[in-house]
Amino acid sequence: MTQGERVKEVRKALGLTLDKFGEKVGVKKQTVSRIENGVNNVTDQMVLSICREFNVNYDFLMNGEGEMFDDLPQTVLDELCAQYDLDDLDRTLVEMYIEMPEQVRDYLKQEIRKRFLKEDTKK
């Protein structure tokens, strides 16, 4: 299956028209049609836009490997780690923080303010 065919498969799975799909990724419906029919190639920017906008698995879209869609929380965390050059420990710390109950996060923030930011927490 070509990249264009995979784009069409994604669009159909989402139940979107050529027009609506193109609108979401910033191109006209004719551009989407030309990609799906193999007239035009998918640009790197278009691949990134499709993956970001529709939570599509990059490897699926590029190479036909893996599931069509990514798990959203994992994708957001992956993007965060890539954007800020976070290593495995950083990632684990972020995951731990996200999974903490709100009361524990509030306590942790209070302690960070007090110990590291030297803020008065009694306000």
In a domain, 122, yes or no: no
In a domain, 123, yes or no: no
**121 has a pLDDT exceeding 80:** no
Give the pLDDT confidence of 72-96 residue by residue, as tens digits. 555 678 778 888 888 989 989 998 9
Residue type, 52: R
pLDDT of residue 82: 81
Q: Count of domains in the chain?
A: 2
Locate all alpha helices (DSSP H) within the chain, ordered by sequence: 3-14, 18-25, 29-36, 44-54, 58-63, 72-83, 88-99, 102-115
pTM exceeds 0.85 for this model: no
pLDDT of residue 79: 78
Residue whose C-alpha is closest to residue 70's, from 80, 58, 88, 81: 58
Give the pLDDT confidence of 1-28 residue by residue, as tens digits. 999 999 999 999 999 999 999 999 999 9
Give the pLDDT confidence of 25-84 residue by residue, as tens digits. 999 999 999 999 999 999 999 999 999 888 899 999 999 999 998 765 556 787 788 888
Domain residues for 24?
Answer: 3-63
Q: CATH no. for residue 23?
A: 1.10.260.40
And the tokens for 16?
């979107």
Q: Determine contact, residues 72/55, Cβ cutoff 8 Å.
A: yes
14 and 58 co-located in one domain: yes
**120 has a pLDDT exceeding 90:** no
